Structure 1
């Protein structure tokens, strides 16, 4: 028991010291926190896929075949030097959007859209958005959709590629595109609006707890989680949902007039092949297939904005790693010491 008590005291001391260090580091980080900066990551996908192809061929072809291939490449290079190097190829810019309920990705996405619009040529170039989202908050996805509307307003071809899901707010974004490409089993549609509000009023009453909510304005709070909801409040809430649904339907109809909106705007979803039958999508293929095809006759670039890690973040990761290693080592030594006794 004495040995266990000593071991426990040592462990508590170590944990307490770690918590103090972490609290101090967190406090310092919050005081010195600056606005988050982002860095732009650019990758030419033609070169990426060419490198993959070369690597595979080197492992598959015989030495003689590789020599012949290198000769052919040199010959092609000489021939291309004689031609104009200023030939303007079509450029395709690939952006990605992975949505959560708050459409958090819009912060980096809006900057990627701005960057592409700085160089994309109307009527010549194309922007492809790899879109994945089950939907979420109306105002958040409204902003994300407005970013895609910016591309259309500039007269630049816009293609939305959906490999897994673009439903509800995700489909509101996709419908802006000139064409929607979906994989055969991608989930599309869900043109509807939903809201859920738990109510604990009966629990409070059962425990003799009063709850008061004061508002200025008749409809400032229609439904509440703790107060007693009224039929009038419910009707107003449902009316607001219906107004939002009508706005959603109008938005889709304006951008995809070929869709029979009344038959598809019931909140239901369709898999890719069925979605094509009701004109929710235009073609069935994966984003990989579409981008590889684009690489054959266009210069294809991937653009992405990512949060840049600050010095404090990097130091924090280093300190955390160091503390973790030290604790592991100490606990290991304590166990070995106890085992020897």
Structure 2
């Protein structure tokens, strides 16, 4: 048992050294990345219909017998032949190839952090789609965000408003959470679909910060703050916060909350805004009862069903990655894997004690 204990400690030391090396390399890579200008990106477009069809073919090859497969393939060829024949006849008559052109759905993704960092990628994706989308098409946003900075999510919401201004249907699907700034974005949709246990709401404003003034005084450290303008700075982390400063800060929060409520009320007029603008959150079904969402369901169900009557495309705008960025990502993944191994070894070592 002592041998295993010594071996475990040696392994922990080795992993610790490896993590330290990876952190240094990662830091160097990050510094290199910061010093370069943003590279141009590119669109990644995939047709969901084709992916589902490929999955269906793979399952059919395993599940169905050969006779059933041949029958299905024969029917598909027959249907395709009939469609081509009908298109040729319409072309001969000077008509469009199809009497009822299929609707297109463009699927975008937004995974929001506190700074809404993905807003630039969302902006590019929306700009690209709007150059080609028709009035009869639809844009679906798979949204996941617990909110964050007001101005950042205000900009993200403005990007979605561009879709509404063009008269194109906007649907937002929430599988996990659309709260605070996330709901600020979601409420611009013509239709909001939420999973049964997705968290919805948090229509409120919050700010918190520590104050070290008493600690500084205890150690005879003075803090001086110079401003021009009565309200250039209200509350601070290091100075003494007066009652007047706190009242002004609270008033600013109330003003922001009022704007948030107006925003939601404008785009969701059926909502009882005073009842829901408490900062509380609700699960999907509860949010439906409060008219914060329009349907209960997952994005998977909505898109798979849409494939039956429309062409569905996922559209992502991605920045081209340099060698340094790829190295940085590899280092980050290496650190994460090393951390997991470290915790696993420590857990096993604990289990073998005694």
TM-score (norm 1): 0.84
Give the whole-Å Cα distance in 2 for the aligned partners of 1:234 and 1:273. Answer: 38
Deviations 1:219-264 (A, max 9, x none): 0110000000000000000000000000000000000000000000
Q: 1:25 to 1:138 in 2, by over 3 A?
A: closer
2:308 is paired with a residue whose SS is helix
Alpha-carbon distance change, 276 to 80 in structure 1, aligned in 2, over 3 angstroms: same
1:43 is aligned to 2:58: no
Report if aligned partners of 2:105, 2:313 keep a CA contact under 8 Å in 1: yes
Which residue in the other structure is 2:278 paired with? Answer: 266
Structure 1 counterpart SS, 2:87 = coil
Deviations 1:91-110 (A, max 9, x none): 11000000000000101011
Size of the aligned set, in residue pairs, is 307
Partner of residue 327, structure 1: none
- Find the counterpart in structure 2 of residue 6 from structure 1: none
Tell me what 2:249 maps to: 237
Higher relative contact order (CA 8 A, sep 6+): 2
Report the 3-state secondary structure (helix = DSSP H, G, I; strand = E; otherwise coil) of the residue aligned with 1:101.
coil
Confirm or deny: 8 A CA contact 2:29 2:325 kept in the other structure: no
Give yes or no for the alignment of 1:108 onto 2:121: yes
1:118 is matched with which residue?
131
**Distance change in 2, residues 1:159/1:83 (3 Å):** same
User: Is 1:84 the equivalent of 2:87?
Assistant: yes
The yes-or-no answer on 1:192 pairing with 2:204 is yes
Alignment pair present for 1:288 and 2:300: yes
Do the aligned partners of 2:47 and 2:313 also contact (CA within 8 Å) in 1?
A: yes
Query: For residue 150 of structure 1, what is the aligned residue in structure 2?
Result: 162
Query: 3-state SS of the aligned residue for 2:105?
Result: strand
2:192 alignment partner in structure 1: 180
Give 1:190 deviation, angstroms: 0.5
For residue 110 of structure 2, the aligned residue among 82, 97, 111 is 97
Matches within 5 A, 1:57-72: 57-72=60-75
**Structure 1 gap ranges (5+):** 1-13, 322-341
Query: C-alpha displacement at 1:90, in angstroms?
Result: 0.7
User: Residues 30 and 93 (structure 1 numbering): CA distance in 2 closer, same or farther, change over 3 Å?
Assistant: closer
Deviates more, 1:75-84 or 1:258-267: 75-84
| CA distance in structure 2 between the partners assigned to 1:255 and 1:174 by the alignment | 10
Cα distance change of structure 1 residues 96 and 226 upon mapping to structure 2, 3 Å threshold:
same
Give unpaired runs (5+ residues) of structure 2: 1-17, 89-96, 334-354
Deviation at 1:19, TM superposition (A): 10
Q: 1:34-69 CA distances to partner (integer Å, 9 max, x unpaired)?
A: 323212100000101111111111110011111111
SS in 2 for 1:119: coil
Of 174, 183, 186, 1:162 maps to 174
Partner of 1:210: 222
CA distance in 2, matches of 1:305, 1:29: 19
Q: Does 1:253 align with 2:256?
A: no
Length-normalised TM-score, structure 2: 0.81
Once the two structures are TM-superposed, the CA of residue 313 in structure 1 deviates from its matched residue by 3.5
The 1-side partners of 2:284 and 2:143 are apart by 14
RMSD (CA atoms): 2.6
Return the alpha-carbon distance in structure 2 between the equivalents of residues 172 and 17 of structure 1. Answer: 42
